[in-house]
Structure 1
């Protein structure tokens, strides 16, 4: 059964009862890579109350070598046993908040960035809930993208080679207290989706990090490789992280209005308007890799054009209508993030964009219920429909001019993210790709 710890004492008791020998302390760097170090049970009490020191200069985006001392303070509420490390000596894990030596929050910690933005939201009386749909691929190895099957959307049995992998993954997630709504084969060959039940944004960001490592661990157990790379194969759909989101005041859904034709409150409409207004500026966080922009092209179900709709999946923001008029189910779906983002930062910037719309009383344009992909440029211009950045470099340029992004991330994370992405772009643009050899070498 999942652990339900709240205090350091709870963690110590559960570890004693389960004969836990090692505890892994987890956190992420600025780019969203999971970092971990292990401590023996004998050090657990010290870690829970005082934290554990480590060298922050060795973690991307954290600290310079002359200010490298950092402290990882475990969050007791995140303690879970690792199901894939079973045996006589069990292993547990906790997510950590990263602190400076004086005990203050470290501004380069992505978890702190999200917590800081959620605190501002709480002061306004809201709770932010999210429910991401993470897509991913299974391949035969990490050397080349060779699919396991030729299945498509919702295919069964022989066309779906990974139903056992998904089942074991779901069991593992549920053993760790992470609720799953459903799973299925996705559109592309060997592409899959496991949808998480909605939760508050901080819990969900922790869950996304856990989800990604569980998917990879179970895949490795079966001798295959799982990847969250946005676009690993040319000519078929890439992987997205469609993110359902809503604001609640207590038990009341602030996005719901029973008298509106779309069942959307004014808060929801302004929130959507904010997402649309800032989509280009926050793309560097929601879609942070060179490869992300290979997915964001017309024709493969990924959103490219900045508009909203109800049932139209070519729109950037969609209002799902599975249960129209049901208050708890009313939400919006932001479709452009991909599953290789840093979830702490992605949730923070989407929230900030939406709340800018609420606080600025932004007006929501009319929904676009036509296939935007097949509109002419003139039609899109007439409707005021802009496009997401077409490359990582364009996303960097949009981010550089964004006051909202700088304030949301904080100066430390914003500066490192820009610097890191400029390096990535420079490394990418000087590479001679196979396309260029095949296209130009025979004729030039």
Structure 2
């Protein structure tokens, strides 16, 4: 917390607020489920926010605190200041800063703040001599709205993978989203129509894991806000339409040493991966069932994780095919050597998902785990006997199984911390129980008139 003079970065933010005639600041954070929350304050409160923080009621936020211990404080990170591109000066220009949450009773970072959870994972990596870079690929659908402005599941185009107009009718929407993201400091690498009708992907450059998690939260906000300007609803729901491809968030990870060298690269290895990378990869494979509860955290997530729709369900890795849980992408230069975890989806809380992946990988390094041989065949074509022959397990088939795996995994529970793991499990158990007692339209269509 800043108690004395403002830092140079904070002073720079105050100058920008004045120069850009910013009227309001949105102080942003996320609950444990990954839902973005914000407190809006007049821009004139910025200096106070830096010096003292802004108080709010934490008992109203999913997974934070009980009513009798509700006072929390937001401390804005000036490095995350960005002007919101969809607000015009006529509406009153606004900017946002992402905040850390402080427990007012102790003055310490709040253990239930997902950003704090990720910072703890990065501290653990730092103790081992590493920094962590991440690059996600969040996919999303664009749907038309009905006459009341509510989301439908009717796509606004019939495009497919890499299609162009006239099949891809959303290229203008993606263009506006990209402009908005660039105005907020993103470095966009590429965008394209995905496999399913109405499905899209916009890739942005890798960064350190904390900045990347911030960017994922920002990305989802920007995509939905700008899509709404086009009278479309953007959703990061993993499987909004049955029997077509769902949306994933493939996540590329790499470790760098203190001298800036890629700890994952070894040119003498058959796969250009170092021993460190192999152990990190092995750690993720070992803890994958528990990680899925965090990286694939909804009942709907497991409608995506089924064979036949390009989503990985088999606990294996490969340097070639995309049917494995983890892939080693081709790298043009040593600095680009990395692994790609293909199972996370964009409904996850990015702070918690990255923390789980990092702790799992670091556990593999600390224990010197050895990765199994890569599987270069299409695992989707394996029968059960062949999968057993290769020693390939499958991910949990539903959220209940994933939460069971999380509760049995001390490393991933430790990655979340006692507070978050307890609240997260509680919320997800309730979600799964609600699902089990519900009756779906599929059941009504199939059974109502038959029996």
> 1:171-224 CA distances to partner (integer Å, 9 max, x unpaired)?
111111111110000000010000110000000000001100110011000011
> 1:322-361 CA distances to partner (integer Å, 9 max, x unpaired)?
53xx201111100000001000000000001111111111
**2:369 pairs with 337, 351, 362, which one?**
362
The aligned counterpart of 1:219 is 227
SS class of match (2:375):
coil
Matched, 1:161 2:169: yes
**1:302 pairs with 308, 311, 321, which one?**
311
SS class of match (1:260):
coil
Task: List aligned pairs for 1:17-416, cutoff 5 A.
Answer: 17-87=19-89, 89-101=92-104, 102-141=106-145, 142-249=150-257, 250-321=259-330, 323=332, 326-416=333-423
Structure 1 residues without counterparts, runs of 5 or longer = none
Give the C-alpha shift of residue 42 in structure 1.
2.1
TM-score normalized by the length of structure 2: 0.96
Give the C-alpha shift of residue 41 in structure 1.
2.1
- In structure 1, C-alpha distance between the alignment counterparts of 2:135 and 2:447, rounded to whole Å: 45
Q: How many residues are paired up?
A: 438
SS class of match (1:13):
helix
Deviates more, 1:140-149 or 1:289-298: 140-149
Structure 2 residues without counterparts, runs of 5 or longer = 1-6
C-alpha contact 2:121 2:355 (8 A) present in aligned 1: yes
C-alpha contact 1:149 1:161 (8 A) present in aligned 2: yes
> 1:347-389 CA distances to partner (integer Å, 9 max, x unpaired)?
0000011111111110111100111111010110111100000
SS class of match (1:253):
coil
C-alpha contact 2:136 2:251 (8 A) present in aligned 1: yes
- In structure 1, C-alpha distance between the alignment counterparts of 2:88 and 2:151, rounded to whole Å: 29
- In structure 1, C-alpha distance between the alignment counterparts of 2:262 and 2:8, rounded to whole Å: 26
- In structure 1, C-alpha distance between the alignment counterparts of 2:43 and 2:348, rounded to whole Å: 33
TM-score normalized by the length of structure 1: 0.97
Give the C-alpha shift of residue 424 in structure 1.
0.5
TM-align CA RMSD = 1.1
Change (3 A) 1:136 1:109: same
C-alpha contact 1:8 1:49 (8 A) present in aligned 2: no
Give the C-alpha shift of residue 6 in structure 1.
5.9
- In structure 2, C-alpha distance between the alignment counterparts of 1:356 and 1:42, rounded to whole Å: 46
- In structure 1, C-alpha distance between the alignment counterparts of 2:346 and 2:109, rounded to whole Å: 27
Give the C-alpha shift of residue 13 in structure 1.
1.3
> 1:240-263 CA distances to partner (integer Å, 9 max, x unpaired)?
000011001132100000111110
